[in-house]
Amino acid sequence: MAEDTFLTDDFVRQLTAVGGVDIVVGLPTFNNRATVGRVLNAIQVGLAKYFPRERSVLINPDGGSTDGTPELVRTTTVEHYETLLAASPLRTFQRVSTVYPIGHGSGLAWRTILAAADLLGAKACISLSPDLESITPEWVDALVRPIYKEKFDFVAPIYRRHKFDGLLIKNVLWPLIRATYGSDIREPTATEVGLSGRLASHLAAQDVWRQTDTSQEGLRLWMTTLALVGNYRVCQAFLGPKTLGRNTARHDIVATVRQAVGELLRCLEAHEAFWMNRSGSQPTPVFGFQYGVAVEPVRINRARLLQTFRTGAAELASVLQSILTPTTLQQIQQVAALDDREFRFPDDLWVKTIYEFAASYHHSVINRDHLLQALVPLYQGRVASFVLQHYRAGAEEVEQHLEALSRRFEELKAYLVEGWTAKK
Amino acid sequence: MPDARTQPDDDPLWYKDAVFYEVHVRAFYDSNADGIGDFRGLTQKLDYLEELGVDTIWLLPFYPSPLRDDGYDVADYTDVHPNYGTLEDLKVFLEEAHRRRMRVVTELVVNHTSDQHPWFQEARKSRDNPKRNWYVWSDTDDRYREARIIFTDTELSNWAWDPISKQYYWHRFFSHQPDLNFDNPEVVEEVWKIMKYWRELGVDGFRVDAVPYLVEREGTNCENLPETHQIIKFLRRRLDEAFGSNFLLAEANQWPADVRAYFGDGDEFHMAFHFPLMPRMFMAVRLEDRKPIIDILRRTPDIPPTCQWGIFLRNHDELTLEMVSDEERDYMYDEYALDRAARLNLGIRRRLAPLVDNDRRRIELMNSLLLSLPGSPIIYYGDEIGMGDNIYLGDRNGVRTPMQWNGGWNAGFSQADPERLYLPLIANPVYGYQRINVESQLRSAHSLLAWMKRIIRVRKSTRVFGRGSIEFLHPANHRALAYVREYQGETVLVVNNLSSSAHPVELDLRRWRGMVPIEMFGGNLFPRIGEAPYPITLGPYQYYWFRLRRL
Amino acid sequence: MWQYIVGTLSTTLSQFFRGIMGLLPRLVAVLIIIVIGWVGAFILQWILKKVLAWVRFNALFRNTSLIPTLRKAALPPPDELLARLVFWGVGLGFTFLASSSLGIFGLQEEVSKIILFIPQLVVALLVLLLGLLLANFFGRATLLAAVNANYASPRFLSNVVQFLIVIFAATMALDQLGVGHRVVLIAFSISFGAVMLGLAIAFGLGGRDVARRILERQFPEKKKEEEDEISPL
């Protein structure tokens, strides 16, 4: 990291004043005035309660908020420690706020946090979203403890989600990562993660930071991947339900698929030596008691999903031809022809579809961005099928299905390897 | 007679500038080879104390006593324990001390007596004895239930059964220390007589033991009661009427807000120990964070202008952790008393040097804090040379071993057979008297003792430390504890690095812009203060004292 | 007379034969040069292929869209393409060089004309190729975007885009060749105008309902969606 000029003088000065720390808590913000106070209090109470003796610092890279978020971050204090903790914290709660230039994307926020963790010699570095409604002080403990006490390097969260929440992760990212890298990571794109100092330094030293257009999802997936392939000890921590503030922007499905799946495939290509000869998967240890809790139901407009899928299957035939094998394409078109009531996108077909997309991505049969866009309608078909199939199912039943799907991904991995290594 | 003091310095606020030295006669120097220190020995060593620079000697109890609580169980309030010499010896000592312009403060242990005291022997004879009402009796042991038990390691109840008169008697400390009944005017009058007696003999003031517990009332925790304050006000008034300049020091192990009451409107105690500050100084250095010290001083109320806080690092008792939260106590135990043998009651029975791993830099830093924070510092004997302790001696005896004068026979403390010493000497290779002793340190210009002399001299070069205001600076670096003391146009800036590593710190000194900092130990000038943040680089555990002058 | 005739004839013949005899060695030499040229071109092509394969030339283009682009244009992969270009270039070069050395009057001029025309032809072909590729790319991009945005008849939109780009490229290519400047411009204008008019009419008349449906779906339903749908992610 010879050219570390991205850190402003003021930021370096603030870091100097902080000196060495044990725990870095990263909180990237951008116009989060409404929710950041609660998150900040949860962090302060969490640190005071679970890590009262450790030296800790909050790093707040702000993307140029206009609503006074950084000021709030600098000044928010817990009013009644005594009633919350029956004690007051031993240490000063240190915080550093820095504004990075607008237009640099979230990559710089992450890079700032990791660089701070690296420079301050932190043993653990966690990150939290500023718009969390459901955060509790226990989240801090859940993310830090496995690293601090159990010598893990990477803590991915596990959220309690509604059965129809996080379907891209459930249907693509999670099973594909599990089948390829052999690690069971339920939330590979989460903001709430914990990193060991070693891993944080490793990530901070990567070249990827020069690309300023890296997306949030892509960045987090990339970090997860490096943790998986880099001989780091990985675990998961149960956090409970994740509820975001009302103002949080809703994701655009096309953009998300392009970023998340695109980054996943890019990583697969970069680390093919790691996963090519692996088979099966290892369970990842999970910390925390997984309590049950009612979660806000997620409703999905099935009609529109189906419509997009059918249009896509028909209109994109010429594009899909170059990506999929004739058999698979034919089967998809058969699925598209099914009546609404008996509409099903079978697991095996879905696995093969994903694998063929991955192989075609690798061989660059068409422009890679087009390839990812072509996946979107098919994914919507799969989601429609998933929702129809489990409309009345309980959470347990859905979990079983996902487990089965994930195993199919593992069992059919040879199919991916074959397509990947075939000469086209 | 009245007021044997001969010093020209008759400032009634002398205690504000004083540096106290706490010593037990028994532990200092044995002049008659019986293995126990005595007043003649103490008198012989006054030159040493004068040289050190201390100006007030606080003597632990030297009264006749069965010595079951190190003399805090008094059996006769008006005499000297034969082990320590005679009243004559004491008088000589007082004269010699005064000749060296030093003052002497003694213990007034009147919350309770020894059960061997004639008063208690009288009182327990029968329920209708005239002295019966001098103590607190009860048919049951469930009165004053809300009063906490202080010696939790040895006592189960504050009541003890007297088999002779078949009643329970009240004791806040050990069961062999029955509490006097301060609701009885005869007792108060008797206490006044004791005070008068010693003042006339030449003692300059009293450290009043266990003040909060004098009076008991049902339904309260029997601490800090208004009736207790009335008694103190009464005694103070009598004292002020009879003598010109007096000094009363309260031992009240309470939160600052509660201790504040013992200053009254300047009509109760002159000085009181600041108990909660002491563990927090240790905590701050271990946490490498100034927060504990600033927090506790922020929670410390203002006191009347004639009053003063007494601050200390270590004393003859355990490092008390009563005035900290559970979290803080656990931290202190884990960091300073990992060895369970070092723990006693709610505290840690260790001396300064072993507490900081015999790290000279930390010893110096702790003393820099002690001598520069608001209040009058009290140095515990032996800590000026970095003496060690022996936590296996039982109770608090481990920090009460003989003073180590040289590397010879019995550390130069006594000519007696080593087996006769009242407590064994510290003899381990690290803290033993062969290694840590006054004589060897006198030979080196860089010994801890030499350094202590120097810092005391620097402190006494100005009144700003004893009397000045304090203003904390808030540099972004929390490892730096910086404050400005000001008094009558004098300004001193103190910067301490609480951390074990080097740190830069930037101070906002704009209020003092244009002034030039002069380092007080070496007298060197530092760059003039300007508008910009003033940068200082601090080495590990480093401290700077700057006099700010307009040049 | 006869003798004159015979003499002339023999002179002519002998001149002819002398000419032939003079030309023949040159012709043979030319043929040999041509053959050597083509053989050399072939060998060069073979060597180049091996070298390119050895240095993994194609791998350079792995992450670019060149390979799929070439495939789409029914062209071989980059290493093969380069080798063939070298083969044809070297072979043709030798042929032209050799024929000019025959010293036949006029042939030299024609050959040089052909050689001068080649760059223009190549440029025109490249323009056309590029146009085809761009048409393909943007056509597909439009198709995907339209499908994912739920527009009606995405393929139609895609074809229009493709058609326009091809027309534009063809115009440029012909212009490059210098073939009937004016005709080309007029033809382009007419066809472009026709397409636009067609679109306008299609949307104005035939697509009235479609257009209404599209508008309906775009605006009023948006609110409803937000209420009952979070995100299928």
Give strand pairing partners of B517: B548
Residue B126 lies in a domain: yes
* Residue B454 located in a structural domain: yes
CA distance A193 to B455: 51
B124 and B105, same structural domain?
Answer: no
Which residues of chain A are under the pLDDT cut of 70? 1-5, 81-87, 102-106, 209-214, 245-251, 423-424
pLDDT tens sequence across B60-119: 999 999 998 889 999 999 999 999 999 999 999 999 999 999 999 999 999 999 999 999
DSSP B126: -
Give how far C165 is from chain A: nearest CA, Å.
18
DSSP line for B12-79: TTGGGT--EEEE-HHHH--SSSSSS--HHHHHHTHHHHHHHT--EEEEPP-SS---SSTT-S-S-TTS
Active site residue B153: no
Identify the CA nearest to B529 among candidates B507, B513, B545.
B513
Asked if the C-beta of C77 comes within 8 angstroms of chain A's C-beta atoms, the answer is no
Distance CA B448, CA B218 (A): 51
Strands B103-108 and B205-208: parallel
A113 forms beta bridges with: none
User: Is the per-residue pLDDT at C143 higher than 50?
Assistant: yes
Give the C-alpha separation, B450 to B439, whole Å: 11
B464-494 pLDDT, tens per residue? 999 999 999 999 999 999 999 999 999 999 9
For residue B302, what pLDDT is reported? 93
**How far, in Å, CA of B374 to CA of B265, rounded?**
20
What pLDDT, on a 0 to 100 scale, did the predictor assign at position A82? Answer: 66
**Residue-averaged pLDDT of chain B:** 92
pLDDT of residue C154: 83
Q: Is B218 in the same domain as B329? A: yes
Q: Judge contact between B40 and B444, C-beta under 8 A.
A: no
What is the Cα–Cα distance from A304 to C223, expressed in whole angstroms? 14
Is B251 considered catalytic here? Answer: yes
Q: Which helix (H) or strand (E) holds B486?
A: strand B480-487
Q: Which residue has the higher pLDDT, B164 or A104?
A: B164
Q: Are strands B534-538 and B503-507 parallel, antiparallel or unpaired?
A: antiparallel
In chain B, what percentage of residues exceed pLDDT 90?
A: 83
Cβ–Cβ gap B476/A92 under 8 Å: no
Q: For residue range B291-345, what is the model confidence (pLDDT) as tens digits? A: 999 999 998 999 999 999 999 999 998 888 888 888 888 888 888 888 888 888 7
pLDDT at position C210: 58
Confidence of residue B383 (pLDDT cuts 50, 70, 90): very high
Assess whether pLDDT exceeds 90 at residue C198: no
Give the CATH number for residue B143.
3.90.400.10
Mean pLDDT of B29-38: 94
Query: Do B252 and B346 lie in a common domain?
Result: yes
Min CA distance, A96 vs chain B (Å)? 10
List Cβ neighbours of B350 (8 Å cut-off, separation of 6 or more): B314, B319, B336, B337, B342, B389, B391, B398, B399
Residue C22 pLDDT: 73
Tokens of B368: 């820099």
Q: Which residues of A touch C233 (CB under 8 A)?
A: 166-169, 251, 253, 256
Same-domain check for residues B433 and B542: no
- Pairwise CA distance, residues A152 & A234, whole Å: 6
C229, amino acid identity: E
Across A249-292, the runs of DSSP E, i.e. the strands, are 286-287
A-chain residues near C232 (CB < 8 A) = 164, 167-168, 253, 300, 305, 380, 383, 387
Residue of chain C minimizing CA distance to A380: C232
Has residue B176 been placed in a domain?
Answer: no
Q: Taking every pair of C-alpha atoms in chain C, what is the biggest distance, in angstroms?
A: 116
Residue from A284, A45, A263 nearest A155 by CA: A284
> Which residues of chain A have a CB within 8 Å of the CB of C229?
299-301, 304
CA quadruple C218, C219, C225, C231: dihedral positive or negative? positive
For residues B246 and B140, state if they share a domain: no
Same domain assignment for residues B389 and B284: yes
What is the residue range of B222's domain? Answer: 14-112+184-460
Which of the residues A90, A91, A95, A96 would you substitute to probe the B interface, choosing the one with the greatest number of B C-beta atoms within 10 Å?
A90
| Same domain membership, residue B528 and residue B381 | no
Distance of CA C186 to the CA centre of its chain: 23
Task: For residues B242 and B358, state if they share a domain.
Answer: yes
Residues 192-231 of chain C whose Cβ lies under 8 A from any Cβ of chain A = 225, 228-231
Token pair of B264 as six digits = 């009254």
Q: Decide: helix, strand or coil at residue B185.
A: helix
**Residue A342 Cα distances to A349, A382, A385, B343, angstroms:** 16, 13, 9, 75
Q: Is there a contact between A125 and A194 (Cβ–Cβ < 8 Å)?
A: yes
d(CA B101, CA B8): 8
CATH value at residue B492: 2.60.40.1180
Residues 4-43 of A with CB under 8 A from B: 13-14, 16-20
Last residue within a domain, chosen from B406, B431, B460: B460
Same domain membership, residue B335 and residue B191: yes
pLDDT in tens, B229-257: 999 999 999 999 999 889 999 998 888 88
- Asked if A298 contacts A386 with a C-beta cutoff of 8 angstroms, the reply is no
User: Tokens standing for A142?
Assistant: 């859940």
Q: What is the pLDDT of residues B104-122, one digit of tens each?
A: 999 999 999 999 999 999 9
What's CA B290's distance to the chain center, in Å? 23
Top pLDDT among B288 and C57 is at B288
C-alpha A27/C-alpha A73 separation (Å) is 9
How does DSSP assign A36-85, residue by residue?
HHHHHHHHHHHHHHH-TTS-EEEEEEE---SSSHHHHHHH---S-HHHHH
Give the pLDDT confidence score for residue B377 in this predicted structure.
97
Q: Which of B287, B295, B479 sits opposite A19 (nearest CB)?
A: B479
Tell me the H-state helices in B263-359. Answer: 277-287, 291-298, 326-336, 352-355
**Structure token digits, residue B535:** 């940068």
B495 and B423 within one domain: no
Its ipTM equals 0.78
Give chain B's domain count.
Answer: 3
Spatial distance between the Cα atoms of B438 and B417, rounded to a whole number of angstroms = 21
Give the H or E element holding residue A311. Answer: helix A302-315
The amino acid at residue B263 is F
Residue B3 lies in a domain: no
- Residue C231: per-residue pLDDT: 57
The amino acid at residue C166 is: V
What separation in angstroms does the CA of B373 have from each of A167, A265, C168, C219?
62, 63, 86, 72
pLDDT at B4: 42
Q: Cα B11 to chain center, whole Å? A: 22
Q: B451 and B517 share a domain?
A: no
Distance CA B469, CA B13 (A): 16
Q: Which residue has the higher pLDDT, B441 or C71?
A: B441
> Alpha carbon of B462 to those of A94, B372, B465: distances in Å?
36, 11, 7
**Amino acid B499: pLDDT:** 94
Domains of chain A: 9-287 (3.90.550.10), 302-421 (no CATH)
SS3 A205: coil
Catalytic residue among B209, B216, B364, B395: B209
Domain boundary residue among B460, B483, B507?
B460
Task: Name the strands in the sheet holding B167-170, side by side, starting at the edge strand that comes first in the sequence.
Answer: B137-138, B167-170, B159-162
Where does a domain end: B442, B460, B478? B460
Contact criterion met (CB < 8 Å) for B287 and A19: no
Residue A85 Cα, gap to closest chain B Cα (Å) = 10
CATH number at B390 reads 3.20.20.80
Q: Are B390 and B449 found together in one domain?
A: yes
Contact call for A17 and B506, based on CB within 8 A: yes
- The dihedral region occupied by B67, where left means phi > 0, alpha psi between -120 and 50, and beta the remainder, is left
Assess if residue B5 is contained within a domain.
no
Query: Per the domain annotation, does B177 fall within a domain?
Result: no
Burial B271-302 (b: 16+ CB within 10 A, else e): bbbbbbbbbbbbbbbbbbbbbbbbbbbeebee
Position B2 pLDDT exceeds 60: no
* In C63-106, alpha helices (H): 66-72, 78-100
